[in-house]
Structure 1
């Protein structure tokens, strides 16, 4: 492909990503992958350059642009070497017209920024869009962090994460034979901190209520040395189906998966009511803490979508609390820096749940900052995804 054709392809992909953001369609990575499958003539260098254009524009533009061209023009303003490629050549974009509109730059719409937790200051906002490193977690069932140091000597230990090893962005770690053998998982440091904060122990009965593909479920199995009974639940069949083969690879043999029907969760979990020593509620949320990895999420969040997340979070907290044994613990977590999803959500739960108390001191020293009844982690302060977590203890 010519350099100009790569620009035009990026424009077309950005059009599709912006439309999906407005309509709640497929994520950017899926749209990009499908676009490349439709352009089999594009070589690996073409794909790499086009991806750089697409994500460079997404990181610059604060909200869904009126067109992919407007977004690419914004990128061309920031990278002047791209402007001459708008040359009207075959398969390339039309020349830039005088006063042609650009997409607005910035972290996010001001109304969205206004929802951030007060701990997220202006000095931290640039870090929310920097490229994230690749964080690995050693699987204790098969390995230790020292093994990762031997496999990837270019990396470094993640502070406060005893199994964590950090590599440069886009390192092809999953292509290593050790990944196939279940020696490690890819897991951001924030997720590792949250999984450890559950304080799971061998012999316990544990529920991961929103397990998804099972990243935190596998971390819990690792922390307990494959010596705890774990029930991994979700309402998304496609995501939950990813867990059994991952568990087999990891050697985690005591995980049961259960697909829940939305609205029927309490009935389908009745046998676990009041019996779980630990319950993990990694609730669906805005994903505002993961913009380093999925910057187009800024384009997707609307007041209506946020309200749906808030309602789901409150419901899942109530369901999870009903499963906890007397004196047991519930860990609530969201990959969000929005106060209503974090500290406010937990405050509301505690206000309507007599006898429940918020724990303290369950994160490594210097990791996170106190945010109401929980803790907030941010890319700028902690070098990981934005995350709110709160560990709560049920009344005896």
Structure 2
């Protein structure tokens, strides 16, 4: 493909991504993958170049653009070489008109930025869209942090994590034989801190209430030496089905999965009421803390979608609390930097549940900042995804 043809292809893919964002459809990665399968003539260099253009434009544009061309023009305004490819020949995009509209640029819409936790000031904004590193977690059941350092000497330790190792974002770590052998998992530092903050131990009964594909479930199994009973739940069958094959590869043998029917979660967990030593509630959220990895999430968040997340979070923290044994602990977490999803949810829970208390001192020194009854991690301060977590102890 010519450079100009790559630009035109990127514009067409951006059209599809913007439409999907407005409609709540497939994520950008899925759309890009499908577009490349439809263009089998594109070589590996073409795919890399097109992907770079697509994601550079997404990072530049603050909300879903009126068209992929408007997004690409906003990027071309900062890159004369890119602008020169708008020449209308060689399957490239048409020449740029002087008065042609551009998509709005910036981190996010001002109404969205206004929802950020007060700790997320302007100094954090640039870091929120920088491409993320690739963070690994050694699986203690098969490996160690020291072994990761030997396998990937180009990396560096993750602060406060003996099992954590950080690599450049473009590293193809999952293609290494050690991954197939279950010796490590790809997991952002914030998620590693959260799983460790649960303070899980061998012999305990543990519930991962929103397990998804099981990243944190496997981290808990690793931390407990595969010596704790773990119930991993979710309402998404496709995601939950990913967990057991991953557990087998990791050598985690004491994980039970349970698919929950939406609206009937409480009835389907009656046998766990008041018996869990630890409950992890990694609630569905806006994903605003993960914009480094999925920048198109800025294009997807609407007031109505946020309201749905808030309602789900309140329901899930209540459901999780019902499962906790007297004196047990609940860890509430969201990969969000929006105050209403983080500190406000926990503050509201504590106001309505006498006897529950918020723990302190469960993060490594220098990691996270106090945010109400919990802690907020941010890209600039903690070199991680944006993440809120709060560990709560049930009354005895």
Q: TM-score, normalised by structure 2?
A: 1.00
Root-mean-square deviation (CA, aligned residues, Å) is: 0.5
Partner of 2:117: 117
Q: How does 1:177-326 map to 2 (within 5 A)?
A: 177-326=177-326
Distance 1:63 1:283 in 2: 24
Distance 1:98 1:370 in 2: 49
Return the offset for 1:91.
1.9
Determine helix, strand or coil for the equivalent of 1:78.
coil
Determine helix, strand or coil for the equivalent of 1:41.
coil
Distance 1:98 1:77 in 2: 12
Partner of 2:18: 18
Instruction: Choose 78-87 or 18-27, whichever is displaced more.
Output: 78-87
Partner of 2:34: 34
Q: Which runs of 5+ in 1 are unaligned?
A: none
Instruction: Choose 73-82 or 361-370, whichever is displaced more.
Output: 73-82
Determine helix, strand or coil for the equivalent of 2:284.
coil
Q: Which runs of 5+ in 2 are unaligned?
A: none
Q: How does 1:108-147 map to 2 (within 5 A)?
A: 108-147=108-147
Partner of 1:87: 87
Return the offset for 1:99.
1.4
Return the offset for 1:90.
3.8
Instruction: Choose 316-325 or 76-85, whichever is displaced more.
Output: 76-85
Determine helix, strand or coil for the equivalent of 2:56.
helix
Partner of 2:369: 369
Give the length in aligned residue pairs.
Answer: 396
1:51 partnered with 2:65: no
Determine helix, strand or coil for the equivalent of 2:220.
helix
Return the offset for 1:52.
0.3
Partner of 1:167: 167
Partner of 1:154: 154
1:6 partnered with 2:6: yes
1:331 partnered with 2:331: yes
Q: TM-score, normalised by structure 1?
A: 1.00
Distance 2:186 2:211 in 1: 16
Distance 1:186 1:78 in 2: 34
Deviations 1:23-42, CA, capped at 9 Å, x for gaps: 00000000000000000110
Return the offset for 1:131.
0.5
Distance 2:213 2:78 in 1: 37
Determine helix, strand or coil for the equivalent of 2:161.
coil
Determine helix, strand or coil for the equivalent of 1:162.
strand
Deviations 1:51-81, CA, capped at 9 Å, x for gaps: 0000000000000000000000011111111
Distance 1:282 1:114 in 2: 24
Return the offset for 1:212.
0.3
Determine helix, strand or coil for the equivalent of 2:285.
coil
Partner of 1:391: 391
Distance 2:127 2:36 in 1: 29
Conservation of the 8 A alpha-carbon contact between 2:2 and 2:90: no
Distance 1:93 1:235 in 2: 44
1:70 partnered with 2:102: no
Conservation of the 8 A alpha-carbon contact between 2:149 and 2:165: yes
Aligned structure 1 segments of 4 or more residues deviating by more than 6 angstroms:
none
Return the offset for 1:170.
1.7
Distance 2:351 2:266 in 1: 22
Distance 1:222 1:166 in 2: 18
Deviations 1:249-289, CA, capped at 9 Å, x for gaps: 00000000100000000110000000000000000000000
